[in-house]
Structure formats: C-alpha cells, structure tokens
Amino acid sequence: MKILLTVILLSSIVAAQNTYSIQPGVKNNQIVLELSNVSSIEAVEIRSRHNPSKEGSLERIVFTNSKEQVVTLNPNEEKDIVYTFDVSYNIGATESDTIEFIITDNKSVYLSKQFILQYALPTEFRLEQNYPNPFNPETRIRYQVSSISPVTLKIYDILGNEVTTLVNEQKEPGYYEVDFNAVSFASGVYIYRLQAENYISTKKMMVLK
C-alpha cells in the first residue's frame, strides 16, 4: 500500500484525517509526504507519532526507517519524505490503528494529519501453511477466525497421536499467528489441525534436524 500526501504549509492550523483499508501482514507499506514550506516560519519539524486504537498497537505497526521520524523543513524548501512501515499479521480482533504526523516549530502546531488504517475482518475461517517449512526448531502458523468461536490448534505425529496443543480458547474474529517450537521433537512429518465451530482443517509440516 502506498499513500501520497501533498501539503503546502501556510500559517494556518489544519487538522485532517483519511481512512485506508489495509490487509494484516503486509510489509513495506509507504506514506509519502510531499511538503512545501511557503510560510513565514523560519523552520518547522515533521514528526510522526503513533496513536494506538487499542493496547499493543505499537507491536502491530513497525516503522522500518525510524531515522526519519523527525525531519526539518526550512523556509521555501520542498521535500519528499517517505515513511515505510510493516503491519503485523497477528492483530487479533483489532479494527483500526492511527498514524499521525505533526508539523510544528516547537511552539505551535501548524498541521496535524492522521492516517487511519482500517483492517477488514476475515469473512471465513482459514488455516495457512506454516512458515518456514521444513524447519528446525521453530515455525509459525497463521489462521483466521471469522466469528466468535472456541478455537483449538493441535499438533499430531504421523501416527495420529496428539503431541501438543498450541491454542485452546475462545477467539474473536481476526487474524492470529502462533509459534511452534519443536526442539524436543524428533525429525519427521507432523500434522497440525485447526478446529473452529464446524470448520476443521489439517496441514502437514516437517521437522528437519
């Protein structure tokens, strides 16, 4: 996803926001600020900040170019600023997050711009293939829940014997991921099985030591 914002900075205070749909787990999203300082202000700073809509939001959105979190814009200067960020897949039932940019001279705020990232909730139950696969000793399993449901995620050996339970609880609609550490398991093929309401799905994975 790429968002483009063009701002000509005057001496008035402006506050605005836009809402964008985004898929959990997407990396290298970009917000591009095209800025022009044509005001009488000597210099301003562009700062980004994160307004979590729910606890844990900072873990869901990670800026990958943190060195550009504060940028100075001098009089009559034009500058394109690119902010790149990743969105975690494991957002649970979160509906949105907010990224805000502030333009200030450290005395007054001249512009406040918010980007609301709206997450579309899953429309179906789904179990994804683990990654990496084969693995040693850790892998990650992702799954989607489309309605409030008791969810179980279990691991079986190739003979059908249950070896461990990774998830056994009620989940809200959302996107989830869980890590499986097979350090104490022998090499070989294992089966993982997700059950939620009437949905049942199984997939194979391989421990390779």
**Number of domains the chain is built from:** 2
Pairing of strands 70-73, 44-51: antiparallel
Do both 55 and 22 map to the same domain?
yes
Give tens-digit pLDDT for 84-134: 888 899 988 888 888 888 777 777 776 777 888 888 889 999 999 999 999
Sole residue written with tokens 């939620």: 196
Do both 131 and 192 map to the same domain?
yes
Give tens-digit pLDDT for 142-199: 999 999 999 999 999 999 999 999 999 999 999 999 999 999 999 999 999 999 999 9
Between the CA of residue 32 and those of 5, 93, 97, 98, 176, what are the distances in Å?
Answer: 6, 28, 18, 16, 29
Give tens-digit pLDDT for 3-59: 444 444 433 334 456 788 888 988 888 888 777 777 666 666 777 765 544 455 557
Instruction: Assign residue 13 the CATH number of its domain.
Output: 2.60.40.2310
Do both 32 and 82 map to the same domain?
yes
Q: What is the pLDDT of residue 12?
A: 37
DSSP per residue over 109-124, as a string?
EEEEEEEEEEEPPPSS
Do both 152 and 81 map to the same domain?
no
87, 24 Cβ separation under 8 angstroms = yes
Q: What is the pLDDT of residue 161?
A: 97
Domain end, chosen from 119, 136, 168, is at: 119
Domain end, chosen from 73, 104, 119, is at: 119
Do both 85 and 152 map to the same domain?
no
Do both 41 and 70 map to the same domain?
yes
Do both 113 and 165 map to the same domain?
no
Domain extent, residue 143, equals 126-207
